[in-house]
A and B are shown apart, each in its own frame.
Chain A
Amino acid sequence: MSDLFGLNRHVVLPGPLRLDGGGELAPVEIGYETYGTLNPDASNAILLCHALTGDQHVASDHPITGKAGWWTRMVGPGKPLDTDRFCVICPNVIGSCMGSSGPESRAQDGSHWGMRFPVITIRDMVRAQALLLDHLGVARLYAVVGGSMGGMQALSWAATYPERVASAVVIAATARHSAQNIAFHEVGRQAIMADPNWRGGDYHGADKAPDAGLAVARMAAHITYLSEQGLTEKFGRRLQDRDVKTFGFDADFQVESYLRHQGLSFTDRFDANSYLYITRAMDYFDLAEEHGGHLANAFRGSDTRFCLISFDTDWLYPTAESRSIVHALNAAGAPVSFVELSAPFGHDSFLLNVPELDRVVGGFLKAGGL
């Protein structure tokens, strides 16, 4: 029992996992972490879903970078996801590269999957998480919580397994990827595939990985996570370690230096092929399409309580996207709360210090009756 819970867990489940794209995945590997203790009737489990390049190290140091977890401010004793009361389970999504099945993991022939890994969807990620919860003995979640792509998973959870989700917290998310969202992702994918080291995805175990391409993909994406106001306040037109422009193509501007650093350091901890697969899954996400073109149908008959939160400076998944989800939930008669919070950090606000976010999430979870 005890080896099921804790930090740095890894499990190989037999599957098979039937995939939206038609194939099957078996076995299914999942890396995950849990925080807090599952109570005897397994009624206090919160599934926490991470974003595109996140992972299961939500409140523990990252094994590669050594940095603190990505949501330490929200997960812990007395925090909004209170680990004195709840058992927080955070799995690495399939397709990713931190212990779950993905292009970097090994297929049954012992070699890396590479591009032989099947294209997956957000719902496939969710179904894999359901297998993990079965394994852990969690029939029904007290709540599913996620921001950005994590919010998409939370929505998909509520639509796919309504009877298994008491509450859903959906932060800075969308029910479908817009043309603009897909466009930015395509820039990133093309940057990776244009890197000669990508070699059709067959670089695992080789000397060189497509780091330059992946870094550019990250740089482009990173811009979409920030607000113009945030960039201006942080960097303006200030120069990097110099007093005058060099009339060359070095990183003269601080913002250039910052983006280059973000891009490069990202390649230390993330796999380029995983980036392709996960961005594809996000682009394919359209919850209404999965339900006859009507988003409300995704939630009809659901008993799940919903809490949606957007940020006023988020232009990646703007408030209008959350509102259209709220509209659908109202049409379906589901209990829903929604608030647009004010924060200067753009889409990244959900990861940063926004005290109002803590208050809303904490209050909503507390009111779930545990």
Chain B
Amino acid sequence: MLRPDLAIIANNVAAGTRVLDVGCGDGALMAVLRDEKQVDARGMELDRGNVSECVARGLSVIQGDADTDLSDYPEGAFDYAILSQTLQTTMRPDLVLEQLLRIGRKAFVSFPNFAHWQVRLSLLWGGRMPVTRLLPMAWYETPNIHHVTIDDFRALVKERGITVEGAWFLSGDRLTSDAAANFRAEHAVFLLSRRAFSSPSKGGVILAIPPPALPPPPPPHR
């Protein structure tokens, strides 16, 4: 069973593509993409135990740090670069985002929403840093050093001229509407690209609609 944000990403990655999963953990998403969508999946992971686990299950994963080691990859090496629940742990989320869109033609980014109503309540009434299901650690030990809200993220991508090709919002394990997502969603998944995005209706966020099918993948870079 994949984590809900990973399931969304898995459902929306085109088959037979090349994918880099940054912060791939134990490789659960990579394994699904490889086995069910014939994806050529590569991973990067900081934790040495997780890397060993991935290699032992036959995945191509290198030990590395999203903040420093993404520059190792050539431009456009992947169809998708994926960063799930890792953005808020990086030193410079904005630079990591730029790297993702340099390496990948598209990028999936998922993160816990710090403006979720439970977080707001906890801070408003408790006056303490929130400890929730998705943010389970105390302030002094959490790896989440850059808390971000959905509206913060939207503002960043707008400012950087990045196109949002898709967005999914999760409350619990369920999809929720984008109406008041910044208040109601615990968790967001964005599909981004640098490509100019023309929509017949209007630009901006498309809710829970799978992105258009990609053109056939380029030949492997070999």
Contact = CB atoms under 8 A, between A and B. Distances in A.
A245 interface: no
B77 to A, nearest CB: 7
B8 interface: no
B212 to A, nearest CB: 26
Interface stretch (A49-57, A98-106, A125-133, A358-366): A358-366
A116 interface: no
A364 B56 contact: yes
Nearest to B58: A367
Contact of B56 (A301, A332, A338, A359): A359
Contacts of A356: 48, 52
Given A330-B74, A339-B48, A342-B48, A363 B56 contact: yes
Interface residues on B, range: 20 to 34
B60 A337 contact: yes
B58 A366 contact: yes
Interface stretch (A139-147, A213-221, A302-310, A344-352): A302-310
A326 B56 contact: no
A74 B59 CA distance: 21
Nearest to A305: B60
Contacts of B58: 363-364, 366-367
A339 B220 contact: no
B92 interface: no
Contacts of A360: 52, 55-56
Contacts, number: 77
Given A356-B52, A359-B52, A340 B63 contact: yes
A41 B19 CA distance: 34
A337 B61 contact: yes
Contacts of A340: 48, 63
Contacts of B62: 326, 330, 336-339
B57 A332 contact: no
A135 interface: no
Contacts of B133: none
Given A302-B222, A331-B74, A337 B54 contact: yes
Interface in B40-67: 40, 42, 48, 51-52, 54-64
Give me the 3 closest cross-chain CB pairs, A-B, nearest first: A367-B58, A363-B56, A333-B221
Interface of A: 300-303, 305, 307, 326-327, 330-342, 356, 359-360, 362-364, 366-367
Interface of B: 40, 42, 48, 51-52, 54-64, 72-74, 77, 220-222
18 contacts: A302-B222, A305-B60, A327-B72, A331-B72, A334-B222, A335-B60, A336-B60, A336-B62, A337-B54, A337-B60, A337-B61, A339-B51, A339-B55, A359-B52, A362-B56, A366-B56, A366-B58, A367-B58
